[in-house]
Amino acid sequence: MNLLQKNLSKLTCACLLSLGSQGLFAQQTVVKLHADQPSGTISKHIYGHFAEHLGRCIYDGFYVGENSSIPNTAGVRNDIIAALKNLNIPNLRWPGGCFADRYHWKDGVGPKEQRPSIVNTMWGGVTEDNSFGTHDFLNMCKLLGTEAYLAGNTGSGTVQELADWVQYVNFEGKSPMSDLRVKNGQTKPWNVKFWGVGNEAWGCGGNMTPEYYVGEYRRYATFMEGRNLFKIASGANVDDYHWTETLMKGIPLQMMDGIALHHYSFPSWEKKGPATGFTEQQYFETMKTALRMEELITKHTAIMNKYDPKKKIALVVDEWGGWFEVEKGTNPGFLYQQNTMRDAMIAGVTLNIFNNHSDRVKIANLAQCINVLQAVILTNKEKMLLSPTYHVMEMYKVHQDATLLPVEVKTDDYVFGQEKLPSVSVSASKNAGGLTHVSVVNINSSKTEEIEIDVNGAKFRNVSGRILSSSKIDDHNTFEKPDYIKAVSFKGAVLKDGKLKVKLPPFSLAVLELN
Ligand code: AHR
pLDDT of residue 22: 37
Residue 405 three-state SS: strand
CB-CB neighbours of 384 under 10 Å: 19
Q: What is the pLDDT of residue 17?
A: 35
Among 95, 98, 111, 91, residue whose Cα is nearest residue 59: 95
Residue 1 falls inside a structural domain:
no
Q: Give CA separation, 242 vs 164, 239, 447, in Å.
A: 32, 9, 40
- Regarding whether 227 and 79 lie in a shared domain, the answer is yes
Structural domain includes residue 281: yes
Q: What is the mean pLDDT of residues 427-434?
A: 97
Q: Which residues form the catalytic set?
A: 200, 319
User: What CATH number corresponds to the domain at position 91?
Assistant: 3.20.20.80
- Specify whether 284 is located in the same domain as 311: yes
Q: What's the pLDDT at 6? A: 38
CATH number for 503: 2.60.40.1180
Q: Is the CB of 52 under 6 A from ligand 1?
A: yes
Co-location of 137 and 258 in the same domain: yes
Same domain? 124 vs 173: yes
Q: Do you find a cis peptide bond into 254, omega within 30 degrees of 0?
A: no
What is the pTM (predicted TM-score) of this model?
Answer: 0.94
Among 399, 419, 444, the domain-final residue is: 399
- 240 lies in the same domain as 263: yes
Contact 231, 286 (CB under 8 A): no
Residue 459, pLDDT score:
87
| Residue 25 pLDDT | 40
For ligand 1, atom 7, which residue shows the shortest CA distance? 97
In a domain? residue 21: no
Distance 21 CA to ligand 1 centre (A): 45
What's the CA gap between 215 and 261, in Å, rounded?
Answer: 19
366 CB within 6 A, ligand 1: no
Both 393 and 509 in one domain: the answer is no
Q: Please tell me whether residues 323 and 272 are part of one structural domain.
A: yes
Domain stops at, among 340, 365, 399: 399
Could you tell me where the DSSP H helices lie in 68-191?
A: 78-85, 134-144, 159-170, 176-183
- Last residue of a domain, which of 399, 422, 453? 399
Tell whether the torsion through CA atoms of 18, 19, 25 and 30 is positive or negative: positive
Q: Are residues 352 and 409 in the same domain?
A: no
Are both 237 and 275 inside the same structural domain?
yes
* Mean pLDDT, the chain, integer: 94
Rounded to an integer, the average pLDDT of 166-195 is: 97
Tens of pLDDT, residue by residue over 413-423, are 999 999 999 99
Q: Is residue 3 part of a domain?
A: no
- How many angstroms is it from 203 CA to the middle of ligand 1? 10
Residue 174 has pLDDT above 80, yes or no: yes
Condensed to tens digits (0 to 9), the pLDDT of residues 33-77 reads 999 999 999 999 999 999 999 999 999 999 999 999 999 999 999
Residues 301 and 439 in one domain: no
Q: Which residues contact 117 (CB under 8 A, 6 or more apart)?
A: 127, 128, 129, 130
Write the pLDDT tens digit of every residue in 264-315. 999 999 999 999 999 999 999 999 999 999 999 999 999 999 999 999 999 9
335 part of a folded domain: yes
pLDDT of residue 456: 81
Q: Poorest-confidence range of 25-34, 325-334, 448-457? A: 25-34
pLDDT of 462-512, one tens digit each? 999 999 999 999 999 999 999 999 999 999 999 988 899 999 999 999 999
Residue 6 in domain = no
Whether 338 and 363 map to the same domain: the answer is yes
- Phi and psi of 237, rounded to 5°? -85, 115
| Structural domain range at position 239 | 44-399
Ligand 1 pocket residue status of 344, Cβ below 6 Å: no
Q: How far is the CA of 96 from the centre of ligand 1 (A)?
A: 7
Give the total number of structural domains in the chain.
2
Looking at the structure, tell me whether residues 446 and 324 fall in a common domain.
no
- pLDDT, residue 458, reads 85
- Answer yes or no: is 434 within a domain: yes
State phi, psi for 108 to the nearest 5 degrees. Answer: -115, 20
| Residue 26, pLDDT above cutoff 80 | no
The band of 7, judged by pLDDT with boundaries at 50, 70 and 90, is very low
Nearest to 108 by CA among 97, 121, 120: 120
pLDDT for the residue numbered 12:
36
**Which of 53, 98, 337 should be mutated for ligand 1, with most atoms under 8 A from CB?**
98
pLDDT reading at 3 higher than 50: no
Instruction: Look at residue 20 and tell me if it is in a domain.
Output: no
